[in-house]
Amino acid sequence: MLIDSHVNLHAPQFDEDRQMAIDRARAAGVALMINICDKVSHFEKVRAVADAPDIWCTVGTHPHEARENPDLTSAELLALAADPRVVGIGETGLDFHYDLSPRDVQAQVFRAHIAAARESGLPLVIHTREADAIMGDILEDEFANGRFKMLMHCYTSGAELAARAAALGSWFSVSGIATFKAADDVRAVIADMPADRIIVETDCPYLAPAPFRGRRNEPAYIGHVLAKLAEIRGWTLTEAEQRTEVAFFNLFNRIPRH
């Protein structure tokens, strides 16, 4: 089963052909997709895409958007997460590359998401960029207050943070970046990820894998990410598909297994 664990199909890049992009994904064999919430104020749009039986969604606010709702509470997230189509909390985290929201606000909003993940039992979808040390510190600090499931999405950070997150039981998702020529450091980290906790994603419309780099990304391209993961890990394509499918359902366990 091909599964795209991270799509942004509500994004304006799909306004002209959203249903056609979904149809192309299905034609390519994609059986499940998770539409990821970029900010709570967009939840209605995010949720609308998840009306289809093979598309689910999350609720949360990306670190870029944390400034929009700096006082966001876990209770607000939990209220939206009660929707049966919601299978995760996030995307949330820290992004110190662009700093589009103040760093202290990013951290405060991130901790609210962690509390919601802990209370709901839903997995936390984490975005992290150029914040390795602080991210590791927050995760370990919060984990000491109570366990929660987490996914380091589209992981491109360092080996040290990967090891710290893996020690807390984190899952990791691999994106089209793994196919980029200059991404040897990313591939090296992928080679050491826990074999039973790796899944794949497109992060469409961003990060189209080779040979589509430079174009708008689509869920239909997820097979190229899976093939690169298989190559990096020394798995057959069938083995990679089976391993990532099992890991996906172990993480997103609100989704019934087919």
Relative to beta strand 150-152, strand 171-174 is parallel
Beta bridge partners of 78: none
- pLDDT in single tens digits along all 258 residues of the chain: 999 999 999 999 999 999 999 999 999 999 999 999 999 999 999 999 999 999 999 999 999 999 999 999 999 999 999 999 999 999 999 999 999 999 999 999 999 999 999 999 999 999 999 999 999 999 999 999 999 999 999 999 999 999 999 999 999 999 999 999 999 999 999 999 999 999 999 999 999 999 999 999 999 999 999 999 999 999 999 999 999 999 999 999 999 996
Which pairs with CB-CB distance under 8 Å and at least 24 residues apart come from 240-244? 241/1, 241/2, 243/195, 243/196, 243/198, 244/3, 244/198, 244/199, 244/200
Residue given tokens 């949330």 in the structure block: 92
Residue given tokens 């080996």 in the structure block: 159
Element (H or E) spanning 31, and its range? strand 30-35
CATH 3.50.50.60 fits 2-251, yes or no: no
Q: 230 CB contacts (<8 Å, ≥6 apart)?
A: 236, 237, 239, 240
Spatial separation of the C-alpha atoms in residues 29 and 207, rounded to whole Å: 20
Residue 204 burial (CB count, 10 A): 27
Q: Where are the domains of the chain?
A: 2-251
Phi, psi dihedral angles at 61 (to 5 degrees): -130, 120
